[in-house]
Amino acid sequence: MPELSASRAEPLLVLDRVTRTFFVRTAHGELPLKAVHEVSFSVDKGECTGLVGESGCGKSTLGRMVCGLLAPTSGTISFAGAPLPQASPSSPVIGRLQMVFQDPFSSLNPRMSVGASVAEGLGSRGYQKRSPMGRGEIRERVRDIFARVGLAGMEGRYPHEFSGGQRQRVALARAFVTRPDIVVCDEPVSALDASVQAQVLNVMRDLQEEYGQAQLFISHNLAVVGFMCSRVLVMYLGEIVEELAADRLASAAHPYTQALHGAMPTRTVGRGKGLVVLKGELPSPLNPPSGCPFHPRCPRAMDICTRMAPDWTELAPGWRVRCHCLDD
Q: What is the dihedral of CA 223, 226, 229, 230, to 10 degrees?
A: 170
pLDDT at 65: 95
Exposure of 26 by Cβ count < 10 A (0-12 exposed, 13-18 middle, 19+ buried)? exposed
pTM for the structure as a whole? 0.88
Distance CA 151, CA 2 (A): 46
* Degrees to nearest 5, angle at CA 36 with 33 and 41: 170
pLDDT at 83 over 50: yes
Cβ atoms 6, 318 nearer than 8 A? no
Q: What is the pLDDT of residues 181-240, one digit of tens each?
A: 999 999 998 878 888 888 889 999 999 888 889 999 999 989 899 999 999 999 999 999
Check whether 131 has a pLDDT greater than 90.
no
Say what the pLDDT of residue 1 is. 38
Q: Reduced to 3 DSSP states, what percent helix, strand and coil does the chain have, rounded to the nearest 5? A: 30, 25, 45
Contact 300, 255 (CB under 8 A): yes
What is the chain's mean pLDDT, rounded?
Answer: 88
Q: Is the pLDDT of residue 268 over 60?
A: no
Number of H helices, E strands in the chain: 10, 12
pLDDT digit string (tens) for 2-60?
444 444 468 999 999 999 999 999 888 899 999 999 999 999 999 999 999 998 899 99
Q: Per DSSP, what are the bridge partners of residue 104? A: none
Give yes or no for a contact between 98 and 176, defined as CB atoms under 8 angstroms apart: yes
Given a cut of 90, whether residue 264 has pLDDT beyond it is no
Residue 78 banded pLDDT, cuts 50, 70, 90? very high
